[in-house]
């Protein structure tokens, strides 16, 4: 059974297929109805959410299904009941499980025991649905992905940094991630992204200097400096990350046609300036919309693959 737990769960061919399907479903929202019945999709949130909940709920409805939203603070998965026990229960009630949670190992346990496809709606290590939406957005604005240079500046050890490495390498992009000392990507993730990039003609690198990282880039991305659960480190992180703030000066080193990505929520004056976030090169609102289309394509692909209708 296929799941979507991290970016490299999709081969380059499968990623292209999912993005092609996302383009189609954006133009024709009701052309795929794999959840018609409606079938139920269990959507669990252990972390705060706005875009993820809105985009999955609307996307599941457009696929003909019903989103069963579960508040993680009430469900207490792994506290009141073990993850395998919850997985077995939800697998008997729903056609699919979508989970926004903490450690990646929890998601892997859910996939091992649910008996239905599982989708990563964010973990501490990866955010593959967001990066699929970002790739869709870049395709819309640049026409292609292979060969493009994507720079990520900020917390390179976070889930977005990891997913840009894996997802961008899968698309054949040249990915540079940049952050201060102590915030480098997980070595295992960087190594795996290098393996993928060798096969796709892309490349990946950690670049300590933010100016070098964004020089000539076709897209520049950033994310909040204080990920969920890191609030106690906010002051120290603000001091450490200040040189990586995506402002007009840093963006001036990118290509003249470069676009700006941010997965939101954004903090103007910290990881990104108001002038950049709200400026003409920002495509963040397209990203926010494209979460729905990309996730619909993933869900449709996973459900179709169960019946052998999709490669």
pLDDT at residue 68 above 70? yes
pLDDT at residue 311 above 50? no
Is the distance from CB of 234 to CB of 226 less than 8 angstroms? yes
223 flagged as catalytic: yes
Confidence of residue 229 (pLDDT cuts 50, 70, 90): confident
User: pLDDT per residue over 132-160, tens digit each?
Assistant: 999 999 999 999 999 999 999 999 999 99
pLDDT at site 230: 74
Is 93 annotated in a binding site? The answer is: no
Domains of the chain: 3-126+289-307 (3.40.50.1370), 130-287 (3.40.50.1370)
pLDDT at residue 309 above 90? no
Is 311 annotated in a binding site? The answer is: no
Q: For 166-183, what is the mean pLDDT? A: 97
pLDDT at site 232: 77
Task: Give percent above pLDDT 90 in the chain.
Answer: 94
127 flagged as catalytic: yes
pLDDT at site 307: 59
Q: Which of 176, 262, 291, 292 is catalytic?
A: 291
Q: For 231-257, what is the mean pLDDT? A: 93
Tokens 């290590």, located at residue: 125
Cα(67)–Cα(47) distance, rounded to whole angstroms?
A: 17
Confidence of residue 206 (pLDDT cuts 50, 70, 90): very high
Q: Which of 106, 176, 223, 293 is catalytic?
A: 223
Confidence of residue 71 (pLDDT cuts 50, 70, 90): very high
pLDDT at site 310: 43
Is 158 annotated in a binding site? The answer is: no
Q: Which of 15, 130, 148, 192 is catalytic?
A: 130
Q: Which of 3, 51, 106, 127 is catalytic?
A: 127
Confidence of residue 305 (pLDDT cuts 50, 70, 90): low
Is 291 annotated in a binding site? The answer is: yes
Is 173 annotated in a binding site? The answer is: no
pLDDT at site 306: 67
Q: Which of 100, 106, 174, 293 is catalytic?
A: 100
Mean pLDDT, the chain, integer: 96
281 flagged as catalytic: no
Is 14 annotated in a binding site? The answer is: no
291 flagged as catalytic: yes
pTM of the predicted structure, to 2 decimals: 0.96
């Amino acid at each position: 059974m296929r799941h979507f737990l991290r970016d490299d769960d999709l081969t380059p061919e499968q990623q292209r297929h999912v993005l092609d399907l996302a383009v189609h479903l954006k133009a024709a929202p009701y052309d795929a109805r794999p959840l018609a019945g409606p079938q139920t999709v269990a959507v669990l949130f252990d972390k705060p959410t706005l875009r993820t909940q809105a985009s999955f709920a609307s996307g599941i409805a457009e696929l003909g299904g019903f989103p069963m939203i579960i508040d993680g603070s009430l469900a207490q998965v792994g506290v009141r009941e073990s993850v395998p026990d919850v997985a077995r229960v939800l697998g008997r009630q729903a056609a699919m499980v979508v989970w926004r949670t903490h450690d990646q190992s929890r998601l892997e346990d859910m996939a091992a025991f649910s008996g239905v496809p599982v989708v990563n709606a964010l973990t501490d290590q990866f955010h593959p649905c967001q990066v699929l939406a970002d790739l869709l957005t870049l395709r819309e604005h640049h026409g292609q992905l292979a060969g493009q240079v994507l720079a990520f500046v900020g917390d390179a050890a976070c889930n977005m940094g990891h997913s840009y490495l894996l997802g961008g390498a899968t698309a054949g992009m040249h990915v540079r991630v940049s952050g201060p000392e102590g915030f480098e990507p997980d070595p295992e993730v960087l190594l795996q992204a290098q393996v993928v990039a060798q096969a796709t003609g892309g490349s990946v690198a950690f670049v300590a200097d933010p100016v070098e990282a964004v020089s000539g880039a076709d897209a520049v991305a950033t994310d909040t400096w204080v990920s969920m659960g890191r609030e106690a480190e906010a002051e120290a992180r603000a001091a450490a990350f200040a040189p990586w703030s995506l402002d007009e000066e840093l963006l001036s080193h990118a290509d003249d046609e470069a676009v700006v990505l941010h997965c939101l929520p954004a903090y103007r004056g910290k990881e990104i300036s108001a002038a950049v976030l709200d400026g003409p090169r920002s495509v963040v609102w397209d990203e926010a919309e494209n979460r729905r289309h990309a996730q619909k394509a993933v869900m449709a692909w996973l459900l179709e693959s169960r019946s052998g209708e999709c490669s």
